[in-house]
Structure 1
Amino acid sequence: MTISLINRINMQRNLLCRAFSCSSIANTKEWRISKGLPVNRNAEGVLLDGPDYTFLDGRPTPLLNKQKVRILKQREYASKIVELCSELDFAKERHQKMLKMAAEERQRVIDNRLKPKGRALK
């Protein structure tokens, strides 16, 4: 009797703990992050990322701070990709060499086995 009463109290407590409601606004941040969008939609965009002015004689405008950061980040990504690709190539070559060495060792063991003598050779 007491066990069923304790179970019933625990179930009611779980229901009370889980009975709150959340609005769709609370999930907006996670949704935007999961879609690869910025958390604040006003933080960046075409109008905010572009230059504020242009030179009439055609000179390029200096890079904005976010553009510099983005370019540096892309360079870091590119260098990391090149580094990881070279490591991958090295690992593939090493694996092939190790397989070849294992096959050569196996062949050497087979070649060095004791050979029959006497009439079995004829």
Structure 2
Amino acid sequence: MAAPIRTLCCSAFRLSSRHFSSTCGVQAGQKWRKEHGLSRSGTEYGPLTDLPDWSFEDGRPAPPLKGQLRRRQEKEALARRIVMLSSEVDRGIEVWEEKQQEAKRLEEHKKSLLLKPKGNLLIKKPKS
């Protein structure tokens, strides 16, 4: 009994002009948002995710939600990492420049140790 049903289903799928899509519906509009300088999805950052949902009637802000605290900690950790990596790059550039200057000084020192021309070679000949 199972074989005729499976055959019927398979033949119905083959004859059908509809195709099934396996793409995720969450990615809808992702390309457009990236082209316009926005986040991949509407929930990554912005006022709807960063600002509190409500406040007290007298104007006091609401306590931050767990997600807001987590995002704030992630942003702080990312900022610390950026500063650390930036300082490492700056230090690397300084070390490289020091090495370049030292190599230049060494080359000039080697040139100063070479024998100097003497006698007739020091006299400049007038060009005619």
Aligned length: 94
**4+ aligned runs moved over 4 Å, structure 1:** 32-35, 116-122
The CA deviation string for residues 35-77 of structure 1, in whole angstroms up to 9 with x for no partner, is: 6238xx8xxx938x743x4211211110001100111111111
Ranges in structure 2 where 5+ consecutive residues have no aligned partner: 1-18, 35-39, 124-128
Partner residue in 1 for 2:41: 37
% identical aligned pairs: 28
Partner residue in 2 for 1:4: none
Structure 2 residue 55 is matched with structure 1 residue 54:
yes
CA distance in 1, matches of 2:96, 2:58: 58
Cα distance, 1:121 vs structure 2: 6.1
Q: Is the 8 A contact 2:52 2:62 kept in 1?
A: no
CA distance in 1, matches of 2:26, 2:116: 73
CA distance in 2, matches of 1:60, 1:110: 72
Change (3 A) 1:106 1:30: farther
Structure 2 residue 118 is matched with structure 1 residue 114:
no
Ranges in structure 1 where 5+ consecutive residues have no aligned partner: 1-21
Partner residue in 2 for 1:28: 24
Normalised by the size of structure 2, how large is the TM-score? 0.57
Change (3 A) 1:29 1:84: farther
Normalised by the size of structure 1, how large is the TM-score? 0.59
Aligned-pair Cα RMSD in Å: 3.2
